[in-house]
Amino acid sequence: MSQEQVATLVRDAVMTILSVSLPMLGLGLAVGLILSVIQATTQINEQTIVFVAKIVCVFLALILFGRWMLIQLTEFAYRALDMISGTGAS
């Protein structure tokens, strides 16, 4: 494997990680921001509410996007194994 192929593989791995984790992180961030604004306006400072809501949101995102995430990870694994074995297209 050449250095260019390793760099391509690492770049592809990072992009796959970012795209797969984005739905869960984005929804968790949005829920946390919304609940923080609500807590600031009502002056309720209970961190457990935000923590539990974020966990529930991440689990829901995992249920909703789980199939797509698995497909993305499987495709990356096939590409990586093809590139490592030398039968890849590049």
* Residue 87 confidence (pLDDT): 66
* Residue 23 confidence (pLDDT): 93
Q: What is the mean pLDDT of residues 1-29?
A: 92
Pair 28, 57: CB distance under 8 Å? yes
Q: What is the mean pLDDT of residues 31-57?
A: 90
* Digit-coded pLDDT (tens) for 58-82: 999 999 999 999 999 999 999 999 9
Please state the domain extents for the chain.
3-85
Q: Is 86 exposed, middle or buried (0-12, 13-18, 19+ CB in 10 A)?
A: exposed
